[in-house]
Amino acid sequence: MTSECNLPAFDILNSLHEGLYVLDLQRRITFWNKGAEAITGYASSEVLGRSCADNILVHVDDQGTFLCDGLCPMAQTMQDGQFREAEVYLHHKEGHRVPVLVRAAPLRGSQGEITGAVEIFAENSTRLEERRRMEQLEKMAMLDALTQLPNRRYLRQSTLSRLAEHERAGWDFGLLMIDLDNFKRVNDTYGHNIGDKVLRVVAKTLSQVSRPYDVVGRWGGEEFLALVPNVDIQNLTQIAERYRALVERSRVTWKKEELSITASLGGTMAHKGDDLESVVERADRNMYRAKAGGRNRVMLG
């Protein structure tokens, strides 16, 4: 079975917006539709005949745990024949992580035996609204040109608005300062073009794995800032850990070498009487505590 098959059924599968692929019992990819190409960046010619775990989708959960070694919905479905649905983060060809809803179903032969499995996956619908918002920001000169995230000007205005709401109505929010680890070394060793690529990959991951009402932007240099409403300190910690884990599972390749990407995160909840400088300074101070504590970690306070 290949994506070049001329049967009408396969034309229909290739017309789907959702990604769809088929595995045999050895977990080799035997079909890869146009939707899968669009969502993952991988052409069918790059994946047909390869194992799904062979450095292609490499699903992880929201804690960054690899699912290809036993927790994969497709592998479980081929073992017990049960339908499954899960929210996972797949690896895009460009290196960032994409949140998708996957549905796995068994394929059976004429005698009812399991012969493989099929997975349908789709991007979270909230990403479409995110794209529209970014287009509007670009028109308003509030978008960072390199990362295509909101820029510092927009982040400052958004934080000021949240502070005003916090004072007026008591609406809680948190702030996360996200700083890439050893970024100067990346620029010095591999050049600024690779450094820029790292920034773009991290920016895409942060944007893709955020909630639709959170705001993540580029604060400056290798620093990103996330404005996280409607949370308490426990929720903020969980979100920060998700960012940290999924940045670590993002990747940039240079001459067949996979570069390690990690970030240190500092966070804080807004306090009564905070102004822009005080809340940002507190998040920044906690970020430096994370750096001093060994990097690739979260510090809140």
- Please give the full DSSP string across 191-208, using - where no structure is assigned: -HHHHHHHHHHHHHHHHH
Classify residue 169 by its DSSP letter.
Answer: H
User: What is the three-class DSSP state of 102?
Assistant: strand
The maximal CA–CA distance of the chain, rounded, in angstroms, is: 71
From 222, 223, 258, 281, the catalytic residue: 222
Half-sphere exposure of 264 (CA within 13 A, CB side): 17
Are 271 and 279 in contact, with CB atoms under 8 Å apart? yes
Dihedral sign computed on CA atoms, order 40, 45, 46, 51 = positive
Rounded to whole angstroms, the Cα distance separating 103 from 44 reads 20
C-alpha Rg value of the chain to the nearest Å? 21
Are 48 and 2 in contact, with CB atoms under 8 Å apart? yes
The H or E element spanning position 264 is strand 263-269
Are 88 and 40 in contact, with CB atoms under 8 Å apart? no
Dihedral sign computed on CA atoms, order 53, 87, 84, 31 = negative
Q: Is 94 a catalytic residue?
A: no
Rounded to whole angstroms, the Cα distance separating 203 from 247 reads 9
Residues known to be catalytic: 222
